[in-house]
Structure formats: C-alpha cells, structure tokens
Amino acid sequence: MNVPALRPLSVGEILDGAFKVYRNQFGTMLGTSMALYLPLAAFQLVAGAMTSSMTAGSDINPAAALTASLLALLAMPLWVVCFVAMFGALTYQASRAYMGQPVSPRDSIRHGFSRFFSLLGALFLMSLCIGVGFLGLVIGAVFVWIMLFAVIPAVVVEGRGAVESLTRSQELARGAWGPIFLVLLVAVIITGLPGWAVQILTSLQAEPGTMSAAIGAAASTVVGAITAPFSIAATVVLYYDRRVKAEALDVHLAAGMAGA
C-alpha cells in the first residue's frame, strides 16, 4: 500500500495539498463530477426549452405546459440524487488519491451510490443543524458549519451512519475551530466565485422562464462540476490533518507499515 508521508499541516499546506490532489487528479475528478452533473445540466436545458415554447406567442401549448409541470416536479429529486452522489464519489476519489491509491470515476461513482442513503441522511441533518444555528444569527450557523466539517468524510471514508458522523465530526473539530474555518472559507471563495460570476452575467441578460435563463443555469451547473472537486479535496485533506493531529494517524499508519 502506498501511504503518503502524513504529518501535521498548516492552513497553507492544507490548501496546497488540496490543489495538488485537484491538479494531479483533474481529469478523473472532472470525469466523475461531469458524469453526475451533466444529466442535471441537460435536464435544465430541456426544461428551459419546454418552458420557453410554452410561453412563446399568445397561445399556451397545453402539451408543453403539462411537460414543463412534470419536469418541474422531477427537478428537485434529480438535483438531490446528483448532488448527494457527487459528494460521495468525489470524497472517495479525493481520499484515495491523497492516500496514494487513486481510483477511476466509475469506481468512485459506484462507491458514492453505495453510501447514498447514509449521505442523504447526514446532509439532511447537517442542513437542519445549520438552519437551527441561524437562530443564533450568522455566528451560530458558522459555528455549526465548522463543527460538522468532517461529516461527509466520516460517512464515505469511515463508513459511519448519518447520526454517528455528526458526533465524529465534532470530535475532530474540537480545539481547531480557527484553522478549520479558514480552510473552509478559502475553499468556498475559490470554488464559489466562478459560479457566482456566471450567475450574475446570465441573470443580467436573461428573463426568468426563458431559454437563455435555462442555458445560464446549465452553464452554472457545469462550472460547479469543474470547481466542486477542489472544495471537496480541501475538506478531505483537512479531515486527514485533523486525524493526524487528534489521533496520531500518521504514527498508526507508520506502525502498521513497519509491522506488515
């Protein structure tokens, strides 16, 4: 087994490690995210075309109206499936790459779907906790966000359940709120800016419910497929760094290799 030389990292080194994973595995991680994001982008284009044809002219096309309504009903379930599977697949892929055992997009997607329901439950609980955190204004939500940073790696890498992953993340976050916040904040800014730029540009040029708006939404989805792997890689490297600092993971792995 090719185990990396794990050691405690600074915030800058964690981000650099995430960039290295993203750069070295760009093709495979992009293939994984595109395989899960493109169906969503295609769906947005089809829905936009149907809505555009329905609103074109003075007469409403009943068939197009019915199809557009059905597509709207399907939009959220499809988004949830793609979103959850993407988190699982890319987290698994980034973890294996960081530990020196890169895997193919196919294997990553298969593993992501194998953890789908645990991930779905964990993400639901995370959203609920962050929503409750907002009762304490933005500071409360940020605090919860920090405490739950490792929920997805706990589910995907360690195979934990939804509830157990929340407790696990809190254990790893204890005493390291500042560094965790900085890594997550930088990752959000880096991955969010391109998508925000696309949304702003398209919203200035398209009316809601038009084909142009649908193209803009699809373009934003594709941009998300390109940038999401870095954000997830940053979380994975941060997760392993916390395990090194809190549990001496590097020592345990070295001892295991020595005894093998």
Q: Tell me: the pLDDT tens digits for 135-158?
A: 877 888 899 999 999 999 999 999
pLDDT at 1: 42
Could you tell me which residue, 222 or 29, shows the higher pLDDT?
29
Separation of alpha carbons 119 and 151, rounded Å: 9
Percent of all residues in the chain with a pLDDT value above 90, rounded to a whole number: 55
**231, two tokens:** 């954000």
Average confidence score pLDDT of the chain? 85
| Inter-residue contact 146 to 173 (CB < 8 Å) | yes
Taking the CB of residue 217, how many other CB atoms lie within 10 A of it? Answer: 21
Separation of alpha carbons 250 and 127, rounded Å: 32
Give residue 68's pLDDT band: very low, low, confident or very high (50, 70, 90): low
Average pLDDT over every residue of 124-135: 90
pLDDT in tens, 166-199: 999 999 999 999 999 999 999 999 998 887 887 7
Separation of alpha carbons 237 and 228, rounded Å: 14
Separation of alpha carbons 108 and 228, rounded Å: 15
Average pLDDT over every residue of 202-208: 60
Give residue 93's pLDDT band: very low, low, confident or very high (50, 70, 90): very high
pLDDT at 205: 60
pLDDT at 36: 87
Rg of the Cα atoms in the chain: 20
Which range (88-97, 190-199, 202-211, 249-258) has the least confidence?
A: 202-211
Could you tell me which residue, 39 or 31, shows the higher pLDDT?
31
* DSSP secondary structure letters along the chain: ----------HHHHHHHHHHHHHHTHHHHHHHHHHHHHHHHHHHHHHHHHHHHHHSSSS--HHHHHHHHHHHHHHHHHHHHHHHHHHHHHHHHHHHHHTT----HHHHHHHHHHTHHHHHHHHHHHHHHHHHHGGGHHHHHHHHHHHTTTHHHHHHTS---HHHHHHHHHHHHTT-HHHHHHHHHHHHHHHHHHHHHHHHHHHHH--TTSHHHHHHHHHHHHHHHHHHHHHHHHHHHHHHHHHHHHH-HHHHHHHHHHH-
| Inter-residue contact 106 to 66 (CB < 8 Å) | no
Average pLDDT over every residue of 40-51: 70
**259, two tokens:** 């005894």
Separation of alpha carbons 18 and 191, rounded Å: 12
| Inter-residue contact 16 to 238 (CB < 8 Å) | no
